Amino acid sequence: MSEKALLTEEYGVKGRDFEHGGEASSKIKNVLKKLGINNTIIRKVSIASYEAEMNIVIYAESGKLMLEIFKDKIRVTAKDKGPGISNINLAMKEGYSTAPPEIREMGFGAGMGLPNIKKNSDRLKIDSEVGNGTTLLFEVDLK
């Protein structure tokens, strides 16, 4: 945590804005491409960022994605003002979801978001306060 990031970028995300949902993670992907990072890593980061971004779109009022590039890893922090997660362990289970029916109808909220982030990252940390918001941080190592 102490090491300074080589590059930091921030992208705002609006809640319930399905029209633009996914743009922040697209931008992250394109930054990583410009840095010449290998495709497997780009793929992992871009899938995980997309899930994190859509979580903000689906559940929160607003939020942001922060991309930090270190010598040896990529970190994405998704911070939102939203309802928070009451039981993180439960939320990590595949198939568990608190998404309302209208969200599920769109194909979101299948309970795969957080497990997918976990699967595509080397470290995942979630801090959440019910009624206040969630900060999700994941890292992918650049071996």
Nearer of residues 2 and 34 to other proteins, judged by Cβ = 34
Count of other CB atoms within 10 angstroms of residue 45: 25
The answer to whether 8 touches 68, Cβ cutoff 8 Å, is yes
Longest dimension (CA), the chain: 43
The pair of three-digit structure tokens given for residue 26, joined into one six-digit string? 């697209």
Residues 71-130 that bind other proteins (CB under 8 A): 71
- Distance between CA atoms of residues 71 and 141, nearest Å: 9
- Distance between CA atoms of residues 126 and 135, nearest Å: 6
Tell me the window of 28-36, 93-101, 114-122, 129-137 that interacts with other proteins (CB under 8 A).
Answer: 28-36
4 is an interface residue for other proteins by CB under 8 A: no
Tell me the window of 5-13, 78-86, 90-98, 108-116 that interacts with other proteins (CB under 8 A).
Answer: 5-13
Which amino acid, residue 48?
Answer: A
Residues 35-64 that bind other proteins (CB under 8 A): 35-37, 39, 42-43, 46-47, 50
29 is an interface residue for other proteins by CB under 8 A: yes
Nearer of residues 74 and 85 to other proteins, judged by Cβ = 74
Q: What stretch of H or E contains 103?
A: helix 101-105
Tell me the window of 11-19, 25-33, 77-85, 133-141 that interacts with other proteins (CB under 8 A).
Answer: 25-33
